[in-house]
Structure 1
């Protein structure tokens, strides 16, 4: 079997690096013909051993994708992932999703941390990892409880395997002699130092304990955690050393400031009389140091964090309250003065620890891998998607962002950001959503929404028919004239109003705004503004199909787009411009929507050929992977994947819906669904942008993860796409009858 491990790795001074090395060699004990390679995640350069065949640059997402490609192309049978949020790059370690979702082989995951109160990204990432994994390994029963209760994970693929420990065969007294500790009662804590370790609690307790135990020596073995060192230096160690001096404990406390070898660690553990883990809070799902102490058959005193409550049950150790040095002193005094009690705890721990040796742990992993690998089905999952699987349409976040003036432009998370004020773009989109949703999702507030957004547009129109775009929260215009794009989007929304609106007063106002703007249609230069305006004219013509003047105006505007296409395209670049920028699909969509009115085969041909070109870049493995706005795509250049915006997704949905309507080719219907599913997690980060709690949509995919702000544009784009897909399902159901 050929196994790829994704983890940190020695010589990096890291508990998970040590764990991975131990696991790799433990599995090799039971399958000596196996080939085991490590894909080491780090930003530093290390002198890695031979088993490390690929270094993943921690903060370079492309490096994760390259690692997946290497694994897929080099005959590996399975991947073992050691997961800890801090190991991987991006928000909460999101980059690891790019790797595991590109794999074609089974994935086994060890979760070293499972949070009781994760943030949005942490929760979403863990759920996505479990979804992709063939097996999930946790090291405590409480971890399984958290997976069920917090993450709603079905425990069917979750297995409990304890943290492995070395063989501890060294005699207690011999170990003391080896370390020069004979004649001492040895108290031990080992591991990286940091404020959460609570070592000050033990030091303070020793003031009383040493009065009856003058030969007591407390060894604190371990370096300061690298993250702590980077931000705070040796502040915590110096604080502890100062505490020792204040309490005159210099003869009873010794710091060993090094990342000790496993040989040294075994000797320290075998030499200690009592082992202490005084962590200051309960949120510790796995403790390798505590596992080692149990494996060594140490008498343990610990605060009652999650893993300690489990490992020290049934007489395997003593629990004391968090941050209570008095109780710690009582527990230590009792253990140190009562040999029989201490030996009982040691025997209980040693008996339990025998099952945790790396030899036994390696056998369990080997048996699991032997079952998983031959039965893994590498075929793609069924990507069918039904109307019932769509999130329910909700006005909740749209209404949260809307006041009596209009819809506000931006949000901080899901809360309206008044400082950024309003824009015409978003109020035009809001009117468009409201009009398109009224057929399937109307409620008693619908009329008020239409009135609000239409009033906003009316207030922003100038005498010459153009519009202001930006307005602050004090209702002061921030520009003399708005962008051509905002003009075009407004015309599109007004066209839908003229087609859909039954109320005379709303229709009349919309008509007046539309035709006041009309003289400016031919002056537009922006390709997207022209496309939006064509969409508005098409909506109007659905209502007034015999308006020959408007048909000719559409023909003129479409002609501009065709000329842009002819000037910019060649054999390899079938597009309207020399770059792929934003809202790209709106351009072919406008041609497809215009074709039935113009009855010009060239318009249809260019619409479908540019659609095909766009999807050749943005549809990968059946899923949508957009051109990001970090850097526009140019012929022959690397395509930026971040930040991807909901605006572009919605345009793809509209484009594919119209392509399906024109051609009746099922592939376009399926790609419309694939585009919509981008919002729900079928994207490059494999995380959903739709927020079920707020009913809003996040602002985009960035290199670091999800932009969690839920502004007007992103939420309105989500619901525009929702209305189109929902109606397409209904129409498809009716057509099939």
Structure 2
């Protein structure tokens, strides 16, 4: 049997007085009992005015509505290298609109997220809808306790069926038939006992039971109704005990106060279970159909009690097929009639008790723990990660699948090219560079494709505007007069690379000519990334033509521009060219290193090495694998990276950056960085899934919170292929020194 992985369990926890706290504690107890080797770190939610002293298992306390507290917990979870984060979700537990503060934590963790949803609303308000949709998008697995909740998740919140797991509320495993023993323990001998338990608040329907008592007592004058539970803390804070006093006033007005036994306390679990065992009939008279789950309803069934309930969602499922009795909402007469009918037929009462007890055997805590283990293990490894080592080359079927006579198509739906989005110069420029680097074993395809990609780049140049266009529709119609600075920079980079390493003299001559005709468009780039792309292209040209003045100017001016950006935005803990993180981050450091080497400016090289070291170390997870800066990170000033969505282009950029650093230093530790980045493709990542496929040369579009993005678009395929070429080249250089 596989071991239980390291779990970060987030929710309420004892001694906090709420159902979520009890449930979270029960999860820990049941998992630990079933899997003694399990490591479970508890992250306990606490109210703003926290005076709770939590039990020993609590690893860290999270204060409701305190962003810093959530962020600190996320950092602790990441540092602990927890394999799974398991969140107990209730809207009112975390703070913010509909509890949206929880995303301060979940957005910062990379481990798979399992969410137990204790409430799934059929009619959510806008805030609840936003929170639920984000949870659905973020969670690997969603656990609910009823089939109806699963249906709501699919139909209202858009969850996938394979994302949802129905695991009924866990229950204790106790012997059947000990009612008289526990009646004696609590002094209820010789009396028929009704019971309701829970934090006292309107909506529980206790008024309905009190109003039914006069009719019941007329037939059974010794009957006692036991109401167990302290007033809900939120209600207590607003109005004190006014609600309990109203209930007591109702009992006095009906003359039944002597037949009600109040236990105004939040009982420890074992004491509560003993008390429930003393009851003959357990009643959950909730007033609304949307009550999601009731732990005490599950407990009562498991303890062999006959259950009478209103038809809220959980009761409809749990008591179906004559495992309990349902009565209409707020109908005291119907409730009284069903109670009397049970009490006057002891055989039927016993049969109902046994039927409920037998149904609950599949819900006992050991069975609950086993079901949870299955969910956790499936969340860890949703896709098997095939192990493979770097080979001499990758296949190119994944590349050719996306290509036609116009160029390489941008996107793919799974493995099928998506013509709806046409082409872009970004991808065709990358593809042109790839054909330069594929070995002779890729002939004749590489030569045929090189001309197609070159033709696309050539046609993207708009002579009228003096800029490159980017997007072309599938019908070969340009969709814009000019592309972004970044796409223009990539085109210049590809031209410079092809001018130096193109497959034929003719192709190299073509690339040099177009480079010369377009390079001035890069002189006034404001984007540091676009500047870096153009600098890399210029460096290639200078490798073949050292006296190319305009290429040298692009390289020199670009280095000065990046140095100025670095001086403007850097802090002691943030040695970077921008106040935010974005995509292709390593390219700026790579361009600085290449410029410093080419221009013999050691200061530029040193800044490139320092910034590259920082950005690469920022992309190492606590467990040691490569974790590319996720696109969720973009735009957050001076903030550490968020883990998702992870994209292949970052791994390729990291390898190219490390290769440039090795050229500058001959230090073998850069090969370690490059190998770590490439291993991300092969399964050494946050989801243990293979992103690239050596057998086809294809690559999936990255990793999102729920696993691998199964689409195989051009950027991803090209990044994988180019990363393989870059690492192979770096390994060859290291081997010769």
Contact 1:125–1:687 under 8 Å retained in 2: no
C-alpha distance in 1 between matches for 2:531 and 2:679: 28
After the TM superposition, which of the residue ranges 174-183 and 220-229 deviates more from structure 2?
Answer: 174-183
Q: Could you tell me which residue of structure 1 aligns to residue 100 of structure 2? A: 91
Contact 2:651 2:678 survives alignment (8 Å): no
Matched, 1:622 2:626: yes
Partner of 2:557: 557
Counterpart mapping for 1:628-667 below 5 A: 632=638, 640-641=639-640
Match 2:480 to one of 450, 455, 459: 450
Instruction: Name 2:62's counterpart in structure 1.
Output: 57
Match of 2:44 in 1: 41
Report if aligned partners of 2:304, 2:357 keep a CA contact under 8 Å in 1: yes
Selected match of 2:159 from 151, 156, 163: 151
Counterpart position of 2:299: 292
CA 561–8 in structure 1, closer or farther in 2 if over 3 Å, else same: same
Q: Does structure 1 residue 189 correspond to structure 2 residue 196?
A: yes
Distance 1:313 1:734, change over 3 A: same
Where structure 1 has 5 or more consecutive residues not aligned to the other structure, the ranges are 73-77, 397-430, 455-488, 501-517, 633-639, 693-720
Q: Post-superposition shift, 1:369?
A: 6.4
Q: For the residues of structure 1 that align with 2:373 and 2:111, how far apart are their CA atoms?
A: 20
- 1:425 — aligned with what? none
Could you say which residue in structure 2 is the equivalent of 1:258?
265
Measure the CA separation in 2 of the matches of 1:497 and 1:588. Answer: 15
Contact 1:680/1:687, CA 8 A, preserved across alignment: no
Can you list the C-alpha shifts for 1:160-184, whole angstroms capped at 9, x where unaligned?
Answer: 5762225367754554454444565
> How far, CA to CA, are the matches of 2:34 and 2:521 in structure 1?
81
Tell me the TM-score normalised to structure 1 length. Answer: 0.57
Q: CA deviation at 1:290?
A: 1.0
Q: Structure 1 residues 94, 326: closer, same or farther in 2, change over 3 A?
A: farther
CA drift of 1:304 comes to 2.4
Question: Contact 1:535–1:593 at 8 Å: present in 2 too?
Answer: no
8 Å CA contact 1:88, 1:95 repeated in 2 = no
Separation of aligned partners in 2, 1:645 and 1:432: 37
SS at 1:197 equivalent: coil
Instruction: Map 1:469-508 onto structure 2 (within 5 A).
Output: none
CA distance, structure 2, for counterparts of residue 172 and residue 652 of structure 1: 65
Q: Please, which runs of 5 or more residues in structure 2 have no aligned partner?
A: 64-68, 123-127, 389-393, 399-411, 422-464, 495-519, 664-670, 692-699, 729-737
SS at match of 1:11: coil
Deviation string 1:192-247 (CA, Å, 9 cap, x unpaired) is 23444333443444465556555554332112334555567656545545655666
2:716 and 2:467 mapped to 1: Cα distance?
13
Question: Is 1:319–2:329 an aligned residue pair?
Answer: no
Q: Tell me: CA distance 1:433–1:21, structure 2 relative to 1, closer, same or farther (3 Å).
A: farther
Q: 1:66 aligns with which of 73, 76, 82?
A: 76
Q: What secondary structure, in the 3-state scheme, does the structure 2 residue paired with 1:61 have?
A: helix
Is 1:13 the counterpart of 2:30? The answer is no
The residue aligned with 2:514 is: none
Q: Is the 8 A contact 1:219 1:256 kept in 2?
A: yes
Say which of 153, 167, 171 aligns to 1:164: 171
The yes-or-no answer on 1:362 pairing with 2:366 is yes
Change (3 A) 1:661 1:443: farther
Question: For residues 225 and 80 of structure 1, what CA distance do their matches in structure 2 show?
Answer: 29
Tell me by how many angstroms 1:310 deviates.
3.2
Q: Which moved more, 1:602-611 or 1:215-224?
A: 602-611
**Deviation of the 1:256 alpha carbon:** 2.7
Deviation of 1:188 after TM superposition, in Å, equals 1.5
Q: What residue is the counterpart of 1:471 in the other structure? A: none
Give the length in aligned residue pairs: 579
> 2:708 & 2:382 partners in 1: Cα distance?
27
Q: 1:247 to 1:726 in 2, by over 3 A?
A: farther
Is residue 629–residue 644 contact of structure 2 (8 Å, CA) maintained in 1?
A: no
Give distance in 2, aligned partners of 1:652 and 1:119.
Answer: 33
TM-score by length of 2: 0.57
Q: Is the 8 A contact 1:187 1:219 kept in 2?
A: yes
**Contact 2:467–2:521 (8 Å) recurs in 1:** no
CA RMSD of aligned residues (A): 6.5
Cα offset, 1:363, TM superposition: 7.1
1:623 match: secondary structure: coil
* In structure 1, C-alpha distance between the alignment counterparts of 2:221 and 2:179, rounded to whole Å: 20
Matched, 1:113 2:106: no
Deviation (angstroms), 1:623:
1.9
1:219/1:253 contact within 8 Å kept:
yes
